[in-house]
Amino acid sequence: MTFDTLPPLLGEALAARGYASPTPVQAAVLEADAEGRDLIVSAQTGSGKTVAFGLAIAPQLLDANGTLPYTLKPQALVIAPTRELALQVSRELIWLYGKAGARIATCVGGMDPSKERRNLSHGAQIVVGTPGRLRDHLERGALDLSELKVAVLDEADEMLDMGFREDLEEILDATPQERRTLLFSATMPKPIVALAKRYQRDALRISTIGEDRGHGDITYQAMTVAPAEIEHAVVNLLRLHEADSALLFCATRDNVRRLQSSLTERGFNAVALSGEHSQSERNHALQALRDGRARILVATDVAARGIDLPKLSLVVHVELPRDAETLQHRSGRTGRAGKKGIAVLVVPYPRRRRVEAVLRGARIETQWITPPTPEDIAKADRERMMAALLAPVEIEDEDRELARQLLAQKTPEEIAAALVRTHRAKLPAAEELSDASTRPPRPEGPRPGFEDTVWFHMDVGRRHNADPRWILPLLCRRGHISRNEIGAIRIAANETMFEVPRAVAARFAAALKRTAGGDGDGEGDIRIEPVRGTPREAARQNKRADAPPARHQPKPYRKGPKPRRGRA
């Protein structure tokens, strides 16, 4: 299918943007059986759905000449959950309908409401906005929807999740009943079904999400790290890839602020984006990323929808998404328009099983990798530097003269070494991550200070993905001791045993009691307690305790009244 059947002005706009043929979702909304009907559309992030509904509403907006006649009241309304998505939709519709003479008004929180009211009063055929701001203009009388022909709800499931149900109902109730309604939703939970049933008539269901729900142009990776070393692992990940643009997702505003400050101190050009930033601050952050003044954006899930960064090639889930849909919306910021992208999940050891279950449910194939080491980063740096220095370049006469002066005073090897040193000085330092495999082998006999020890037992083992790189930091946090005060660690299938010097055992046990209990990573739920004797003796005790009772043992005492004796 091609765009030949579209009005000429829309076809010219698409050709100018490099569109040769429609994407699956665009082709689906342009089919004959979809024309003029209410639609419920499910499509993947980055599939071109903004252009899709822009083309779908054309019959309700264009006249016989393929232009938009001037109207004082809006003819089309697009509702989006976030400011960023609304602004992106507005930009897309501006170039799509620009040659057709469209006037587009954008109404979003964080912008000047008085300026928006003036734009509405001057007349706009298309209005794009967020639910709260649109409802405010509607109640103040600045937005008149009495002549609306088509309404589009973009990311409807997200709007309901964000609590905009009442806003949407008030807005749609103010529109004519004969209007056309297009509902774009990645999922179809019960609230979406109820919304469609109330406000749509004989809606056509369109889905372009295949069985393989993972984005075809995104490579998913996951790496397990100790919870205390997440930030160090993220630093090494950024240094390994040295992406033109990278997007790091955190769960809270405080964590965004903390991580952005930490990366900036380490020498990364990083900006932040969260709900606490004004619209002006958001625009500056995104523009810094687009023009190359910044290479890293640290954001909350507010950035998961509606941000278009063409050079974005790396997405890092520093804190895990709440579900599979959030994972895909976050990751979908990369791998767009046919370009390849990488999405990496940073997984604390205790949460690996949960993450594996989420990935299986989402049918996303994921490669589990180890955190990058300084050696990995140094190798990648050498390869990038060699490629950059050996690439053909145009040399100006002034540069040649300076090169001759340098060669007259230094040898070529000294000049090359200075160039390499200058290049490396600009790069942030890699971080050392704890790894049991890098430790020196233990000498024969007990380590100094471990001649008299107490063994402790943990109720996690290999089947729970227990690993020394995770266990060591956990014990230090829970027991308030240092790594040097932890001796041998023996990991079995369902349990782990380790030793500490008897001199610190009482203090260690007391700290374990204080730190027991639930927490975000589940570490406080892990039972840690001292055992009697050596690990072998403790294992024999556990085996006897778990053994079934012998047949000759008497039955346990039965509570209740004694059975009556005598004749029945």
Domain end position, chosen among 174, 207, 240: 207
Q: Give pLDDT, residue 553.
A: 44
Domain match, 418 and 464 both: no
Domain match, 384 and 450 both: no
Domain match, 65 and 196 both: yes
Domain match, 189 and 253 both: no
Distances (CA, A) of 105 to 10, 72, 161, 279, 515: 19, 12, 26, 17, 55
Q: Which mean pLDDT values do the consecutive 10-residue runs of the chain (568 residues) have?
A: 78 86 88 91 77 93 89 94 87 92 91 92 94 93 95 88 87 94 83 89 83 63 90 94 92 91 91 82 84 90 68 91 80 73 91 87 88 92 86 83 89 87 82 56 61 90 82 87 86 89 90 76 80 69 52 41 44
- Is residue 137 one of the residues assigned to a domain? yes
φ/ψ of residue 330, rounded to 5: -65, -55
Domain match, 348 and 467 both: no
Tell which residue, 295, 289, 320, 297, has the closest CA to residue 428: 295
Residue 277 C-beta-side C-alpha neighbours within 13 Å:
24
The token pair that represents 107 in the structure block: 């109404």
Tell which residue, 132, 174, 123, 126, has the closest CA to residue 152: 126
Could you tell me whether strands 180-184 and 39-42 are parallel, antiparallel, or unpaired per DSSP bridges?
parallel
The rounded distance, in Å, linking the Cα atoms of 133 and 113 is: 8
- Is residue 459 one of the residues assigned to a domain? yes
- DSSP character at residue 224: E
Distances (CA, A) of 291 to 174, 282, 284, 294, 310: 42, 14, 11, 8, 11
Domain match, 194 and 240 both: no
Distance of CA 383 to the CA centre of its chain: 29
Domain match, 287 and 388 both: no
Q: Give pLDDT, residue 438.
A: 36
Domain match, 119 and 23 both: yes
Beta-bridged to residue 272, according to DSSP, are 298
* Burial (0-12, 13-18, 19+ Cβ within 10 Å), 223: middle
* Burial (0-12, 13-18, 19+ Cβ within 10 Å), 251: middle
Domain end position, chosen among 353, 373, 393: 373
117-131 burial, b if ≥16 CB within 10 A, otherwise e?
bebbeeebbbbbbbb
Neighbour order of strands in the sheet with 126-129? 104-107, 126-129, 76-79, 150-153, 180-184, 39-42, 204-207
- Is residue 276 one of the residues assigned to a domain? yes
- Is residue 86 one of the residues assigned to a domain? yes
Q: How many CB atoms lie within 10 A of CB 9?
A: 20
Q: Which residue has the tokens 């999922």?
A: 187
One-letter amino acid at 345 equals: L
Question: Does residue 502 sit in helix, strand or coil?
Answer: helix
**Positions of E strands within 268-359:** 270-273, 296-299, 312-317, 341-348
How many residues would you count in the chain?
A: 568
Is residue 295 within 8 A of residue 244, CB to CB? The reply is: yes
Q: Which residue has the tokens 């009697």?
A: 532
* Burial (0-12, 13-18, 19+ Cβ within 10 Å), 73: middle
Is residue 38 within 8 A of residue 182, CB to CB? The reply is: yes
Distances (CA, A) of 282 to 79, 251, 304, 319: 20, 18, 14, 21
Q: Which residue has the tokens 């227990």?
A: 466
The token pair that represents 483 in the structure block: 């790594």
Provide the CATH number for the domain around residue 473. Answer: 3.30.70.330
Is residue 498 within 8 A of residue 471, CB to CB? The reply is: yes
Provide the CATH number for the domain around residue 312. Answer: 3.40.50.300
Q: Give pLDDT, residue 498.
A: 92
Positive or negative, the CA dihedral 129, 132, 133, 138 is positive
- Is residue 551 one of the residues assigned to a domain? no
Domain match, 168 and 259 both: no
Tell which residue, 149, 142, 146, has the closest CA to residue 126: 149
The count of domains in the chain is 4
pTM of the model: 0.55
Q: 337 CB contacts (<8 Å, ≥6 apart)?
A: 46, 310
Domain match, 191 and 296 both: no
529-541 burial, b if ≥16 CB within 10 A, otherwise e?
eebeeebeebbee
| Domain interval for residue 451 | 436-543
DSSP string over 166-187: HHHHHHHHTS-TT-EEEEE-S-
- Is residue 213 one of the residues assigned to a domain? no
The rounded distance, in Å, linking the Cα atoms of 160 and 512 is: 43
- Is residue 66 one of the residues assigned to a domain? yes
Domain match, 406 and 480 both: no
Domain match, 337 and 477 both: no
The rounded distance, in Å, linking the Cα atoms of 475 and 391 is: 50
Alpha helices (H) along 140-278: 156-161, 165-173, 190-199, 230-241, 253-266
The rounded distance, in Å, linking the Cα atoms of 461 and 59 is: 63
- Angle at the Cα of 65 from the Cα atoms of 60 and 69, rounded to 5 degrees: 55
SS3 content of the chain, % helix, strand, coil (to 5): 45, 15, 40
- Is residue 120 one of the residues assigned to a domain? yes
